[in-house]
Amino acid sequence: MASLKIPANVPLPEEDSEQLHKAFKGWGTNEGMIISILAHRNAAQRSLIRAVYAANYNKNLLNELDKELSGDFERAVMLWTLEPVERDAYLAKESTKMFTKNNWVLVEIACTRPALEFFKAKQAYQAHYKTSLEEDVAYHTSGDIRKLLVPLVSTFRYDGNADEVNMKLASSEAKTLHKKITEKAYTDEDLIRILTTRSKAQIMATLNHFKDKFGSSINKYLKEDSEDEYVQLLKTAIKCLTYPEKYNEKVLRRAINKVGTDEWALTRVVTTRAEVDMERIKEEYLRRNSVPLDRAIANDTSGDYKDMLLALLGHDHS
């Protein structure tokens, strides 16, 4: 389901490092060479390239990329070259800063990543920033939003699967959710507890019970209060936990359709999902918009930035 295309015969990391070193030398940077290598290597391969580059040239590859590249292309290459947990730690940190605050990205990371991957991202966050994600989220939020976000980023969910779902519990908790939502008790402890602690498979079963029993999805029930930021975050958490490909399609659609493309959102989704479920996101995008995602991105971006994104989508000519 990943869109990343890796060649059948991958060069040794020593060869890739040498080619990247050459790409940085001379008067102009060879951006095409950088794309042809980094956009066609998986996380483990990119990590090896970074290690070999540091050993052979006594330089940090990320620093070299930062020095040689600029703009949206630089951001895409830098984010992609990071290890996934490093990348999530960086994105989470940016989302807690005053001028780049983004509660939606925090919800996205907490709810779309597998439990162990999210835990490792929080370890990377602590190692790099000398503070915990929970601490920063608690400090930079307040009121009802803090009440939802702190448990969301603090949890270590049981991953679980459909075979382990407790149907009796799903039915009971569907009734609890319906009661709280019809009462507009959106910040109720039980509602938050269910959404922030149950496994994704259990939540999916509960929400299926909800729809079967009460005739509409939980997010339809929440729609009438969707101007409220807390309710929007609640809906985002539910969508990310149950249908991450639909959530990411919506982020991409809004980023592309916005007056002046939202390159940050576009870059974030492409770099974080190319190795995970981008093929499903592409299918969802085509179904929803009747235009292939690669064509939409090609029409909305340009230059090396466009080439990098298309490569990660599996649509370049390398």
DSSP the chain: -------SSPPPHHHHHHHHHHHHSSSS--HHHHHHHHTTS-HHHHHHHHHHHHHHHSS-HHHHHHHH--HHHHHHHHHHHS-HHHHHHHHHHHHHSSTT--HHHHHHHHHHS-HHHHHHHHHHHHHHHSS-HHHHHHHH--HHHHHHHHHHHH-------GGG--HHHHHHHHHHHHHHHHTT-TT-HHHHHHHHHS-HHHHHHHHHHHHHHHSS-HHHHHGGGTTSHHHHHHHHHHHHHH-HHHHHHHHHHHHHHSSS--HHHHHHHHHHHTTTTHHHHHHHHHHHHSS-HHHHHHHH--HHHHHHHHHHTT-S--
Classify domain 162-242 at the CATH superfamily level.
Annexin (1.10.220.10)
pLDDT at position 69: 97
Architecture category of domain 13-69 in CATH: Orthogonal Bundle (1.10)
Q: What CATH code would you report for 244-312? A: 1.10.220.10
Please state the domain extents for the chain.
13-69, 88-147, 162-242, 244-312
Do the domains 162-242 and 13-69 match in fold? yes
What is d(CA 288, CA 259) in angstroms, rounded to the nearest whole number? 20
Residue 236 CB neighbours (<10 A): 21
pLDDT at position 318: 46
What one-letter code names the amino acid at 210?
F
pLDDT at position 258: 86
**How far does Cα 24 stand from its chain's mean position?**
29
CA atoms within 13 A on the CB side of 102: 16
Phi-psi region of 184 (alpha: psi -120 to 50; beta: other; left: phi over 0): left
- Residue partners of 277: CB distance under 8 A and separation at least 6: 1, 2, 244, 245, 248
Binding positions for Ca(2+) are: 24, 26, 28, 68, 256, 258, 260, 298, 300-301
Binding positions are: 24, 26, 28, 68, 256, 258, 260, 298, 300-301
pLDDT at position 317: 55
Ranges of residues in the chain with a pLDDT under 70 are 317-318
CA-wise closest residue to 91 among 107, 71, 70:
107
Question: How open is the CA angle 182-184-190, to the nearest 5 degrees?
Answer: 90
Phi, psi of 17 (to 5 degrees): -65, -40
What one-letter code names the amino acid at 219?
N
Two tokens at 318? 């390398």
**What class has domain 88-147?**
mainly alpha
pLDDT at position 75: 98
State pLDDT tens for residues 2-42. Answer: 999 999 999 999 999 999 999 999 788 999 999 999 999 99
